[in-house]
A and B are shown apart, each in its own frame.
Chain A
Amino acid sequence: MKTLSLLKAVLSQDMNFFRFSTKNNDSKIKKIIFPIILFLIFGLSIGMYAYLLAEKLAPIKLTHIMLTMFIAAVIIITFMEGIYKSQGILFEAKDNDLLFSLPIKKSKILFMRIFKLLLFQYIYNLMFILPALIIYIYFEKPSLSFYFISFLMTILIPIIPTVFSSAIGYIVKLLANKSNSSKIVQTILSSIIFLGIFFLSMNLESFIENIATQATSINDLLTKLYYPLGLYINLITNFKFLDLLKFIIINIIPLIIFIFLGSKYYFKIIFNTHDTIKSKRKTTKDLYIKSSKIKSLTKKEIKRYFSSPVYMFNTSFGLLLILVISIILVFKSQIVFDMLLNSYGVSKDISISLVYYFLIFFATSMTSITSSCISLEGKTINITKSLPIKEKDILLSKLIYPFVIELPFLIVSELIFFIKFKPSIFYIVTTILIGLVTILLSGLIGLIVNLKYPKMNALNDTEVVKQSMSSMISVFTGMGIFILSIIGIVFTYEKIKIEILVIIHILILLLISLILYNILMKNGIKDYQKINV
């Protein structure tokens, strides 16, 4: 009974993801339809990719390689996401005091939190796994056992990466706690690990693609690389009950061990967490300096940003990536250039300046800082609402602070690139412009979406940053704009001069930004007023 009640409480919080604060059926339908369409578009794109792969692999009876590629991607994503999600959900939950005061076993609390981590991972994973499974079924018409094994696989396969990433999250938190600036150390450590895994997984992807051509040995390789995945493929190609048993046990045992060990050490780390640092300011003179309203509001937003490791980490990955790539370009320009060209899938007659232009566009369009900024206010939104300031100024400050955070990364990265590669004035100007315009555009998208889908009663920042409708829609919209831009340029590349295309591209993004700004200042203000916590 206790476990059920606890599970119910945990799920009731998570189900807010699907709950909207309106009883108006029309707006409810509108709010539900958009994410569903987005989910479908994403699923269809994945499905198309899976179809193209399976089409080539099916005639040689190797369709399962397509499945392994998608499941491998899901394992990597689960592992990477888990590193910082675990820090929020396991260690920074606001219901610690409540749960620890109740007569609940420590292992149960830990299990529920891991379950919470897994629950949202399933939703993300389904977007990749489901289309791949449908395509596999379409080509292979498998027996009933496939459905059962694949259902088990969907449930079990994220467990090991989640357990391992939680363990890494635990170590990061442990090290960060020993430092005075725990939040900054936590963000830096997470970023280093995350970037490391990212570059490793990029190599792994090309590795898997390479072995796909020599596909007969794939099962052996996969089994050596990641045993549960190889086991799954064995099961769907040649079902053996013993293998099924192994598959279940291998996936569940790490979870049991983690919960057993975790319930011994996990609580120590929570009770030893000191989130606050007592520091004295410079002089008393500095204490009472007056600032303008917008400046003061922007400072408030920046302080909020830097107080949340999961928020910082989640939104600075694209920016860190561009900085790292720019630095590596200085030393190993040809290798990175080839890698970038391969990932864009274009021919080599393209200039590195254009590739860099798109790299800046990619990093900034995928960085959605504002998509959480309303939700993260929680109940403190009432403070701002009670003050004599126009809603317009509040929203403006929320548009300004992404510039303060993103510009230093862009300036340093672009300077490195400009000094090393000495691009033409045209590319210097357009590279700077695309950064500025996209920061504005993604800021507007994030803010508008967050005002439509606010999540004001979240238990921790991770729920807002990683598990809210708003952050999902904003990231996918950014991704959509990037993909559409690439498609547009690829289709018109041979008809119109590339320099003109770049100018048109910037102008279109600017025009969209202007339209969105008007929407924000009209409808966004109304949405802001409607928020009631």
Chain B
Amino acid sequence: MIEIKNVSKTYDGVKKALNDVSFSVKDGEIFAFIGHNGAGKTTMIKSIIGILDFQEGDILINNKSIKKDPIACKLDMAYVPDNPDLYENMKAIDFINFVLDMYDVPSNIRKEKIEKYAKLFELEDKLTDDIASFSHGMKQKVALIAALAHDPKVLIMDEPFVGLDPKAVYDIKEIMKQMAKDGKTIFFSTHILDVAEKLCSRVAIIKNGQIVKIGKMNDIKGDESLEQVFLELGDK
């Protein structure tokens, strides 16, 4: 479960990137975070994951504060960045092993998980290749394998579908649904409103660092499409 409590973040004490943001994402939910470029989506995600410090408020991951106990929070989470800037000098397997070492995943379990996800994303034959030789989509898949292989309770993804082939997009959606069924929390930002509409239990729209709309998909869009709602809010 993710709880965002009155979080505010300013850059250099001037620009307010997040302004008193509060909401929560329950276990078993798939939650989409939508907004224009520069609305504050990545700042929010980086704050949740503990990469970015914020001045006011708190973020709880399974009732633990990211400010007070970041390690315990991170142990429950996995993060897939929007632009997978991975360690280009490593082989894919080395990178995945590196991430799993940080989560203390035993050898036998990691073998099973890596093989499972590598097969799913059709990367079995590429595991021993240098990441530098990979396309954007392949890097995204490597980041996903590393994130999923330690079986996180909370999965945070920044634009997870960008640059992926249709099969990979389908596979990720299926994984997200299965994780939600297992009671895991999934939080992701996206520009692809169609995916959010079909996949998510709830959605939040952020504009200029503030949540302008949040709720169940049907409550938010009513008879309109999510795209129409999003565009109308953007114009206000």
| Chain A residues near B (Cβ < 8 Å) | 22-23, 275-281, 287-293, 295-297, 299-300, 303-304, 306-308, 378-380, 382-383, 385-390, 529-530, 532
Contact = CB atoms under 8 A, between A and B. Distances in A.
Contact of A291 (B14, B87, B91, B97): B97
Contact of A532 (B13, B52, B114): B52
Interface string B86-101: 1111110110011111
B102 A296 contact: yes
Considering the complex of A and B, which 4 residue pairs feature the smallest CB-CB distances, nearest first? A307-B89, A296-B101, A388-B74, A379-B85
A291 B101 contact: yes
B89 A304 contact: yes
Given A23-B13, A288-B110, A380-B87, A280 B99 contact: no
B85 A382 contact: yes
B164 interface: no
Nearest to A378: B85
Given A288-B107, A387-B102, A300 B52 contact: no
Nearest to B105: A290
Contacts, number: 110
Interface string B106-148: 1110110010000000000001111011000000000000000
A276 B87 contact: no
B158 to A, nearest CB: 10
B86 A281 contact: no
B53 interface: yes
B79 to A, nearest CB: 4
B102 A303 contact: no
A304 B51 contact: no
Nearest to A290: B107
Interface residues of B, number: 49
A379 B83 contact: yes
A378 B110 CA distance: 28
Contacts of A300: 87, 90, 98
B81 interface: yes
Nearest to A288: B111
B50 A390 contact: no
14 contacts: A281-B91, A287-B114, A288-B97, A293-B101, A296-B102, A300-B90, A303-B90, A307-B89, A380-B87, A386-B50, A387-B74, A389-B71, A530-B53, A532-B51
A35 B62 CA distance: 46
B107 A304 contact: no
Interface core residue of A22, A278, A387, A532 (most chain B CB under 10 Å): A387
A276 B89 CA distance: 9
Contacts of B230: none
